Amino acid sequence: MRDTFVRTLVELAKEDKNIELITGDLGFGVLKPYWEAVPNQFTNAGIAEQNMTTVAAGMALEGKNVFTYSIGNFPTLRCLEQIRNDCAYHNANVKVVCIGGGFVYGSLGMSHQATEDIAILRALPDVVVMAPGDLVEAEECTKALAEYSGTAYLRLGRGGEKRIHDKIENFRIGKAVKVKDGEKIAVFSTGAIFEEVQSACDILIEKGYNPAVYTFPTVKPIDVDTVKACANDFDLIVTCEEHNVIGGFGGAVAEVMAEMKSKNAYLLRIGLDDQYSVKVGNQKYLRKQYGMTGDEIVRKIEESLND
């Protein structure tokens, strides 16, 4: 996803001299194509993410369209006050980009695991939150945010994510994307966890189920219409995210369903069960340890259906 983001931003920046990219002293191998193509639209703020965010806010208030770039929690939780006070409060045109949401940097420990970021950024008024599930969604999110005026958060995987879509027609912020039709079970996914969701759905189909599948590249604003329609049409809605179940994507879906006067479906949220990861390992290992693999998703769905 990160290569797709950079490649897309390069093309956009060539056409729009107001686009700026600021990095917190990392990603040079990945970002090299950007600074070679548009060197006057690139800044290295150093290992000072809070300053990076304030600089971005100042540039945005002077008419620039600024993307900040760092890994894990560094461009988000470390800079929360600056995002809130300097960017969002002023509706500054700053797009905060996190590479490595969830357990991507799991081998570096919980300090590098971004598992509360969606919930925290989603709580800031007027901040758009996006978490693409594949390369096509990553490209579309980048293009959409380049056109969007205001503060936003783009949560990306690191690399190697499988392609879900050949293309997406009429992509827009706040709209879910249907991957397949189904019956009784609707599985909602956001971010790079989709590869596990796809594995789970393949297993479910082998077992005789026919789940519908939707990806939600936008967590905020959530696609209220799709959530409501599925809550009426299906028996079970399952949300999957590589994030704490509290306040994240599943929480956003739950908020919509809680305010419905009537509905058919009940909700199962799959993610990190309101805890810090005390284990260290790669992304695949941690997904297994915390019940987010395809097999574990299937097990939890079948338990819910049998309750």
Residues 153, 128 contacting (CB under 8 angstroms):
yes
- Residue spans of the domains in the chain: they are 2-156, 177-306
Whether 2-156 and 177-306 share one fold: the answer is yes
Q: Residues for the chain: how many in total?
A: 307
- If one compares 278 and 175, the residue with the highest pLDDT of the two is 175
Checking if the pLDDT of 111 tops 90, the result is no
Checking if the pLDDT of 181 tops 90, the result is yes
Rounded mean pLDDT of the chain? Answer: 94
Residue 167: exposure state from Cβ atoms within 10 A (0-12, 13-18, ≥19): exposed
Beta strands in 39-82 (DSSP E): 42-44, 65-71
Give the domain 2-156 fold: Rossmann fold (3.40.50)
Checking if the pLDDT of 212 tops 80, the result is yes
Residues 31, 69 contacting (CB under 8 angstroms):
yes
Q: Which CATH number fits domain 177-306: 1.10.15.40, 3.90.1150.10, 3.40.50.300, 3.40.50.920?
A: 3.40.50.920
What Cα–Cα distance (Å) separates residue 23 from each residue in 36, 40, 45, 58, 223? 15, 14, 6, 15, 31
Residues 266, 237 contacting (CB under 8 angstroms):
yes
Record the pTM: 0.95
Residues 114, 102 contacting (CB under 8 angstroms):
yes
Label residue 158 by pLDDT band (50, 70, 90).
confident
End-to-end C-alpha distance for the chain, whole angstroms: 38
